[in-house]
Amino acid sequence: MSADLTLDLEARAHSEHAHELRLWLRLLTCSQLIEKRVRTGLREQFDTTLPRFDLMAQLERHPEGLKMKELSHRLMVTGGNVTGITDQLVAEGLVERTGVDGDRRAFRVRLTPCGHTTFAEMARQHEQWIVQAFEGLSPRDLDNLHRLLGKVKAHQLEIG
């Protein structure tokens, strides 16, 4: 769903709708607007995409590398998607594939030194975009929002 459509849904949610529905639409709108800013920034400043950034972020957390199947599971995408992104990143020298001992069909993927440097720069900028997204809130507002969303998350995990 595009951010524009979500904004329209939020605007159409009048008093006849449950307060919870309006809140859900507001959360969705905020999330999509922030994601749009991140996607645009990654494209404009680093000539990359959010899925590529996400794959590199997973590899940054696992310096020993991850098997392609593990990447697919962690990113919640198909193996074909991971293979396509990995192929691009290998061609650019940002990640490398190595065989897995005892399994001729499996590959382990990890960041190259260039990949580490590139990702560190992207991650610093990504953090700044997220900080900017919440600049309108005071430290107390941030704490309250975090606490309240934590309660929503905990409840979802309970009923999930």
Question: What is the per-residue pLDDT for 6?
Answer: 52
Question: What is the per-residue pLDDT for 18?
Answer: 85
Question: What is the per-residue pLDDT for 105?
Answer: 85
The domains of the chain are located at 1-47, 49-159
pLDDT digits (tens, 9 = 90+) for 122-143: 999 999 999 999 999 999 999 9
Question: If we measure between CA atoms, which residue out of 97, 8, 102 comes closest to residue 59?
Answer: 97
Q: Do the beta carbons of residue 68 and residue 82 sit within 8 Å?
A: yes
Residues of the chain with pLDDT under 50: none
Question: What is the per-residue pLDDT for 160?
Answer: 85
Question: What is the per-residue pLDDT for 110?
Answer: 97
| Interatomic CA distance for residues 3 and 12, integer angstroms | 14
Question: What is the per-residue pLDDT for 14?
Answer: 59
pLDDT digits (tens, 9 = 90+) for 67-84: 999 999 999 999 899 999
CATH topology of domain 49-159: Arc Repressor Mutant, subunit A (1.10.10)
Q: Do the beta carbons of residue 122 and residue 46 sit within 8 Å?
A: yes
User: DSSP per residue over 2-20, as a string?
Assistant: -HHHHHHHHHH--TTS-HH
| Interatomic CA distance for residues 23 and 139, integer angstroms | 21
